[in-house]
Amino acid sequence: MRRCIDRGALGMIGCMHLPQPRGPLSEALFRDLATRTALSATTIERGERVATAGPCALTDEDLQISLAVLYELHYRGFDGVSEDWEWDPALLRLRTGLERRHLAALRELVGPIAVSDEPIDRQLTALIAADDGPSLSAFMAKEGTLEQWREYLTVRSVYHLKEGDPHSFAIPRLSGRTKSAMVEIQADEYGGGSPARMHSELFAGLMASLGLDRDYGALWDDAPAAAFSSVNTMSLFGLHRRWRGAALGHLACVEMTSSEPSRRYSAGLRRLGFDEQVTVFYDEHVEADAVHEQIASVDMCGSLVAGEPDLAADVLFGAACSLAMDGLAAEHLLGAWAAGSSALRREASLAA
């Protein structure tokens, strides 16, 4: 049986336990991963069923937690799950079916992508300017309560505790100026050589300051499908060479849209009485992403499209997906709070 490795001073662990299943597919899949060396006929049949039917893929709890677990085999894995599963052919076929449904839902959500003769950085800017999704950061800055902050951080922990990793899968698929620009951005995500300054570690510290369990994956059972569909979109783009343009467009959009919201998030925490030791995660993004914006849109995406013009549509698709998934999460959170209910599947686990 595989065992997790204690990461020591930073308090991070190498892997986690399988999450709780959320439907027939995840129930069968997780049982196979923990107890078998090959997929059962039941899991294959249920996977085919989920891949072709059901509610919207992006809010399908069973599909999204199953896809997240399949992708996590490429990240840190799970305690008690053999590493031999990572490239199992039957498992990859199962994942492919879920990915197709996920991609179809993304295409339906973002609609047609129009490509013009303008430089790709200007097209990205125009795409972002046209977005009319709800502003979660504005709400958190002015109205977010401490409990709402805990719920928000729980949802975002699915991504921020692995921040940088989904996009970094695309690095070996690039070359020249495009690759150099992406590495420059990602180096800051990983703290510029300082483990304590890694963005994932800064976020973990923020979680602990608000009384949440900071361990990698600890709050997966609390997070709704919207949290996983966002990260699954990044993993899909990063793990497929076919979608390298979308991975870069997604990353560029993140860098181009996070500086001002981060300023608002920081203001929201200060409104609740927290100081710069708690707001450092957002303060870091205010500064870093303002610099990254031009690197991402001009140097990274611009050089990619200059060398491979056919990828312009994919770059814009990735950026549109980033905006759409942020909107989906915001709608979930704000909708639940407006109704006076929790946005989580169950109350977030507070640190002991």
Please state the domain extents for the chain: 8-109, 116-338
**Burial label, 87 (beta-carbon count in 10 A; 0-12, 13-18, 19+):** exposed
Q: What is the pLDDT of residue 251?
A: 98
CB 154 within 8 A of CB 282: no
Q: What is the pLDDT of residue 7?
A: 39
**Which residues, 6+ apart, have CB-to-CB distance to 38 below 8 Å?**
32, 88, 90
Q: Which amino acid, residue 296?
A: A
Rounded Cα–Cα distance for residues 111 and 34 (Å): 39
Count of C-beta atoms within a 10 Å radius of residue 263: 18
Rounded Cα–Cα distance for residues 7 and 15 (Å): 10
Coil/strand/helix, residue 16: strand
Partnered with residue 78 across adjacent β-strands are: 16
Note the CATH number of domain 116-338.
Answer: 1.20.910.10
Rounded Cα–Cα distance for residues 24 and 223 (Å): 19
CB 62 within 8 A of CB 23: yes
Q: pTM for the whole thing?
A: 0.93
Partnered with residue 350 across adjacent β-strands are: 212
Rounded Cα–Cα distance for residues 262 and 256 (Å): 12
Tokens for 23?
């439907």
Coil/strand/helix, residue 350: strand
Q: Which amino acid, residue 307?
A: G
Report the length, in residues, of the chain: 352
Find the helix or strand (DSSP H, E) in which 325 lies.
helix 312-338
C-alpha closest to that of 48 among 66, 31, 71, 30: 66
The label of the residue with tokens 């060479």 reads 241
Q: What is the pLDDT of residue 350?
A: 47
Phi, psi of 302 (to 5 degrees): -60, -45
**Which residues, 6+ apart, have CB-to-CB distance to 16 below 8 Å?**
4, 76, 78, 79, 215, 216, 217, 218, 220
Count of C-beta atoms within a 10 Å radius of residue 56: 14
Q: Is the dihedral of CA 328, 334, 336, 339 positive or negative?
A: negative
Q: What is the pLDDT of residue 347?
A: 52
> Which pairs with CB-CB distance under 8 Å and at least 24 residues apart come from 29-33?
29/66, 29/69, 29/70, 29/94, 30/69, 33/69, 33/78, 33/81, 33/85
Q: What is the Cα 274 distance to its own chain's centre?
A: 26
Which pLDDT tens digits describe the chain residue by residue (352 residues)?
444 544 333 444 457 999 999 999 999 999 999 999 999 999 999 999 999 987 799 999 999 999 999 999 999 999 999 999 999 999 999 999 999 999 999 999 999 999 999 999 999 999 999 999 899 999 999 999 999 999 999 999 999 999 899 999 999 999 999 999 999 999 999 999 999 999 999 999 999 999 999 999 999 999 999 999 999 999 999 999 999 999 999 999 999 999 999 999 999 999 999 999 999 999 998 877 678 899 999 999 999 999 999 999 999 999 999 999 999 999 999 999 999 999 999 754 444 4
